[in-house]
Every structure is written in structure tokens, then in C-alpha cells.
Structure 1
């Protein structure tokens, strides 16, 4: 399986982070959207690979993984922030 490359990962990560921001109704900037989208994709890809030995490929697959992963990261952040406040 081949990766998307850095430029494509930034584009897909930004789009995934923006969609996750809208789904989770959070208020973040462009940079945080990119970071959450990329980190979400990395984290969820690692989890999927550990569980089933494979992950979704291509732009659409990575976009879906990035959205779900970013939503999970937003949820975890809210849980951590809520407990510390």
C-alpha cells in the first residue's frame, strides 16, 4: 500500500479536520484542523492496522479515517479538559 505523500496528507488532513470540527461543533482554526486531521488519521490507522492488519487506502479512505480519528481526538480532548476543569 502506498501513502498519500506530505502535500496530499496536509490537504486531506485539513479537510478531515474541518469536517470533524463541523460534526463535533467545536471552534478551531485552520492549523488545528490540519493537525487533528493528520493525527486522527495516524492514530486510527495504527489502531485499525493492529486490530485487522490493514487500513483503508486512497484519498477517500484516508479522508474517512481522518474524520473519524479527528472526531475521536476532539472527544478525548473534551473528556480530559472537562475532568481537569
Structure 2
């Protein structure tokens, strides 16, 4: 089981800030594909991955990163400076 966290507009589109999912996903991209297949709100949130960042156990990473041993996945838009 993996805790999945959603931030900013990702949370707004999906409608919840976090959930625990049971997944057979080997990589972050596999998890995204599983989530997209759930409901349209997930498909919309993950429609453009170039506008998303992902962190595994609070470490910024890429979508092709393996999920083995990961407890938490967080999705969020790129951070902007100012």
C-alpha cells in the first residue's frame, strides 16, 4: 500500500488531498496509468505530465523511477520562484 498525496490544482481536480492505494505498479508512470484508469477526474489531473512533478518519500524524482519500497508518492505542479 502506498500513500498518495495531491497538492494545489492536482488536489482540486481529484477532489481529495490524499489516499492510500493498493497498487501493482512497478514505476511512478505505472501508478499514474492505474490512477488515470480509475475515473475521469484522475485522467484530467494526469492529462499533461509535463505540468507535474513527483516526489517519492519526500525526494523529488522522475516518472520512470521504481516504486519498490516507497511508502509515499506526492504529485504537485512545478514550484515557481518569486
Sort the TM-score into its range (normalised by shorter chain): under 0.3
Give the structure with the larger strand fraction.
2
What TM-score do you get using the length of structure 2 for normalisation? 0.27
- Structure with bigger helix share is 1
Q: TM-score, normalised by structure 1?
A: 0.27
Greater Rg by CA: 1
